[in-house]
Amino acid sequence: MPPRLTVIGKHSELTAGDVRRLVHLVVGDQSRGDSRAGATVDVRVLQGGYSGLLVALVYAPRSGLFILKGGPTGEIRLEHENRAAFLGSADEWLVNNQLDDIYGPVDVEIRDQSESWSAMAYRYIGSRTYRELADYSEFGGFLQSFVRTPPAEGTPPERTVRACLYKVASLLVRNADLQNEEEGRALVDYLPDVDWERDINASLTTAAALWSDIEDLRDFRAWYTEAAAAVRVAPVADRRLIHGDAHLANILVNSVRAEVDLIDFGKGRQAHVFEDLARFEVDLVLHTTPRHAHSGTLVQDELLETVNLVGDDDFALRDSPDEPRHRHCLRMWRQELCAVLRGTSLPGAAMMYRWFLLSECLKRIRWVTTNGPVAAGVDMLSLLRMITALRRMLDGHRYAPETVISTTAEALTLLRCTAAYVPMHGHELLTNEKRNRVKETALRASAARGASVRITAETGYSYLSTRGVFNSRIVRLLGAGASLQMVICNPYFLEAYGISASYDPDGRRLGAVVPDRLELHADLARKFEASLRGYEILREEYKSLVEVRFARFGIGATVLLTEKAFFFEPYFHASRNRRERVLFDTFELQFEPGGLHMKRLLEETFSFHWNNADAITDVSQLEERCRRARTTVFDAWQETGSS
Ligand SMILES: Nc1ncnc2c1ncn2[C@@H]1O[C@H](COP(=O)(O)OP(=O)(O)O)[C@@H](O)[C@H]1O
Ligand SMILES: [Mg+2]
């Protein structure tokens, strides 16, 4: 009687019944002669890679835990053969537990079609007890915990990492040396095929248009084909059964015992060992290079610095002091690799290896397009940067930091822009409230620390008027003994009339100062009035703690500078009527004061206005002087004829 099965988890395409049948093929066979009634087999379907095969963790009473892999009969047969050939012997544990065969075939239903599938088993490499849980991982997670800063509990020591890298190299290289090329075969005979037609060429062409500043993306295919063909004689020959998919998820590690195992031999084939090594190395770089905390994208400078290193002509990358851990990791890998692979110092070997790294990166373009940046472990831009850096190296150049160009995301990171408030149509109110809350928080923090605040604004209404949204915050700020310096637009001079004209009073003259109506728009005039009254009240109470000045030159943006955050909202001469209606029709950016670039720009802008401003002491005298000057200007405009 076959044992009872419990199955947890699903395969995306197989029916539960088919999963059961595949498991029965293996355990039914295995438990022949041991069919104790009541024995149960537990099956947990695992998330496989991208092969679509069935991968399941199986617990059978007689053998214990093992991994079952099911797939199209031809593929499983190949994987089974490749494993035996690659490892040079059958797995002893599998033999002892009578799990070393190919089981099947059976017919299964895939997308309404019948396919013949078989199954094979792998020795389970993983924890058997809760205590061991943290000891095992895929190689990517292992390396990531090594480069993590600061090191935490569970960070493997350097010697363990080195030992494991040595084992990976030994497993992939398997005692076979590289040969000095004798038959005169060309580089392209060894390079893996690049499937240009499927996605890759299209992606490169699109990228070249999108990032027109990355010159090396242009005519990439033509360059690649020509430059590779130009290497008439490949510097180092090799041909062997390679693993075929030596990326980090197919390498399992026990970090306590420094044991390393390869799995997933389905892609094995005859090729140059550089193919396996390049896949492993590109994955190593992608897993260890630091990433931006929020976006998860790779830090470009770090990535390019590392790529610069892989292009070193010294294949063995000798140690360099004071290097970050991720680059040290790459050096250790190369050093251990050179210890097991003879021939890496042959002339041209490093150059040839670079070609393999490049073709590996090209392949990954398709992974990113089909599976997305998270699953592929790299975002498209970083990948393209690697590709172009490798191209430059193969052209005999080095990566130069000044060629690094920022994209939007990077630029915002560089500017330390932490938020952008952009109102969506119909949701202006919400966005407005959101940014107001953040500003209130910043003002509250300043009050708590008695830190001064500086502002440039058009009318200052929100801060100074007793009805302004931030007025109570300002009162508390001053009450806490912190100071406020503010520059606003002079309501009696030209700039105010420019703003007024944007109100579009008659619906026809938007943007033009109407010389025959030299009054400020009523809404604007009311705002100025309320601000000035509010200032008077504050001034009475808090004296010199608060000071407001009138700008002499046009203020281009609201700038709010607090200790914890900077805010920047540019002004537009777009319709003010709409603005009054929806409250918020522009956008506002928020910055961390830690970023020097933006801090300098905004602080200098504030100082400029502060130093080019009129004190608001004798307002009626100022108003009179401005009126005279204003009239002269308007007269002059009328003489030149208004457009
Ligand atoms: N022998 C094993 N021991 C432990 N986990 C394994 C074993 N084989 C596979 N796995 C897990 O299942 C995943 C998928 O298996 P794999 O053979 O790589 O299938 P695929 O061909 O779909 O990539 C692996 O990445 C690993 O997490
Ligand atoms: Mg796999």
Q: Which residues contact 32 (CB under 8 A, 6 or more apart)?
A: none
DSSP state of 217: G
User: Does ligand 1 lie within 6 Å of residue 262's CB atom?
Assistant: no
Q: Flag whether pLDDT at 37 surpasses 70.
A: no
**What are 181-205's pLDDT values in tens digits?**
667 789 999 999 999 988 898 889 8
Give me the pLDDT at residue 403, please.
46
Q: Looking at residues 329-353, what average pLDDT do you find? A: 94
Class of domain 4-124: alpha beta
Q: In what order do the strands lie in the sheet with 546-551?
A: 417-421, 588-591, 566-570, 557-561, 453-457, 484-489, 546-551, 613-615
Q: Looking at residues 619-643, what average pLDDT do you find? A: 83
User: Does ligand 1 lie within 6 Å of residue 49's CB atom?
Assistant: yes
**What are 565-585's pLDDT values in tens digits?**
999 999 988 888 777 777 788
Q: Which atom of ligand 1 is nearest to the CA of 249?
A: 25
Give me the pLDDT at residue 34, please.
54
In whole angstroms, give the CA distance from residue 78 to residue 67: 17
In whole angstroms, give the CA distance from residue 83 to residue 584: 64
In whole angstroms, give the CA distance from residue 401 to residue 409: 18
In whole angstroms, give the CA distance from residue 496 to residue 520: 8
**Amino acid residing at 548:** V
Phi, psi of 363 (to 5 degrees): -60, -35
Most ligand 1 atoms within 8 A of CB, residue of 63, 99, 117, 264 to mutate: 264
**What are 393-414's pLDDT values in tens digits?**
898 776 554 444 455 666 777 7
CA 593 to chain centre: 23
Cα(199) to ligand 2 centroid in Å equals 22
- Helix (H, G, I), strand (E, B), or coil: what is residue 115? strand
Alpha helices in 42-157 (DSSP H): 73-87, 92-96, 139-147
**Amino acid residing at 189:** D
Cα(136) to ligand 1 centroid in Å equals 13
In whole angstroms, give the CA distance from residue 113 to residue 360: 34
Give me the pLDDT at residue 546, please.
97
Q: Flag whether pLDDT at 42 surpasses 60.
A: yes
- Helix (H, G, I), strand (E, B), or coil: what is residue 107? strand
Q: Looking at residues 432-436, what average pLDDT do you find? A: 92
**What are 509-533's pLDDT values in tens digits?**
555 665 555 678 888 999 999 999 9
CB 485 within 8 A of CB 454: yes
Give me the pLDDT at residue 402, please.
44
> Tokens 């059976």 label which residue?
106
User: What separation in angstroms does the CA of 298 have from each of 192, 214, 278, 420, 458?
Assistant: 26, 17, 19, 22, 41
Structure tokens at 352: 């040839």
Give me the pLDDT at residue 178, please.
87
Q: Ligand 2 (ion): which residues have CB within 5 A?
A: 49, 250, 264
Cα(16) to ligand 2 centroid in Å equals 22
In whole angstroms, give the CA distance from residue 277 to residue 133: 29
User: Does ligand 1 lie within 6 Å of residue 125's CB atom?
Assistant: yes
What is the residue extent of each domain of the chain? 4-124, 179-246+266-405, 417-640
Residue 29 or residue 140, greater confidence: 140
- Helix (H, G, I), strand (E, B), or coil: what is residue 313? coil
Structure tokens at 139: 């190689």
> What is the percent of the chain with per-residue pLDDT over 70, rounded to a whole number?
93
In whole angstroms, give the CA distance from residue 348 to residue 185: 14
Q: Flag whether pLDDT at 213 surpasses 80.
A: no
> What is the percent of the chain with per-residue pLDDT over 90, rounded to a whole number?
61
CA neighbor of 285 nearest in space, from 388, 185, 143: 143
User: Burial code of 385-411, b = ≥16 C-beta within 10 A, e = fewer?
Assistant: bbbbbbbbbbeeeebeeebeeeeeebe
CA neighbor of 366 nearest in space, from 139, 155, 193, 199: 199
Q: In what order do the strands lie in the sheet with 103-110?
A: 4-8, 40-45, 54-60, 64-72, 113-123, 103-110
User: Does ligand 1 lie within 6 Å of residue 264's CB atom?
Assistant: yes
User: Does ligand 1 lie within 6 Å of residue 51's CB atom?
Assistant: yes
Query: What's domain 417-640's superfamily in CATH?
Result: Endonuclease Chain A (3.30.870.10)
Please, which pLDDT band fits residue 121 given cuts at 50, 70 and 90?
very high
Q: Looking at residues 625-637, what average pLDDT do you find? A: 88
**What are 219-275's pLDDT values in tens digits?**
899 999 999 999 999 999 999 999 999 999 999 999 999 999 999 999 999 999 999
DSSP 595-629: -HHHHHHHHHHHHHHHHSEEESSSHHHHHHHHHHH
Give me the pLDDT at residue 289, please.
96
Most ligand 1 atoms within 8 A of CB, residue of 65, 86, 252 to mutate: 252
- Helix (H, G, I), strand (E, B), or coil: what is residue 500? helix
Phi, psi of 137 (to 5 degrees): -165, 170
Q: Flag whether pLDDT at 439 surpasses 90.
A: yes
Most ligand 1 atoms within 8 A of CB, residue of 43, 67, 247 to mutate: 67
In whole angstroms, give the CA distance from residue 583 to residue 590: 18
- Mean model confidence pLDDT for the chain: 89
**What are 138-178's pLDDT values in tens digits?**
999 999 999 987 888 889 999 999 999 999 999 999 988 88
CB 13 within 8 A of CB 48: no
β-strand partners of 119? 70, 103
Per mean pLDDT, which of 204-218, 539-553, 620-634 is the most reliable? 539-553
Q: Looking at residues 456-473, what average pLDDT do you find? A: 96
Cα-Cα-Cα-Cα dihedral sign, residues 335, 339, 345, 349: negative
Cis peptide before 72 (omega within 30 of 0): no
Q: Flag whether pLDDT at 60 surpasses 80.
A: yes
Cα(161) to ligand 1 centroid in Å equals 21
In whole angstroms, give the CA distance from residue 16 to residue 13: 9
- Helix (H, G, I), strand (E, B), or coil: what is residue 134? helix
Q: What is the largest CA-CA distance in the chain?
A: 111
Give me the pLDDT at residue 364, please.
95
Question: Over the Cα atoms of the chain, what is R_g?
Answer: 35
CA neighbor of 55 nearest in space, from 64, 44, 63: 44
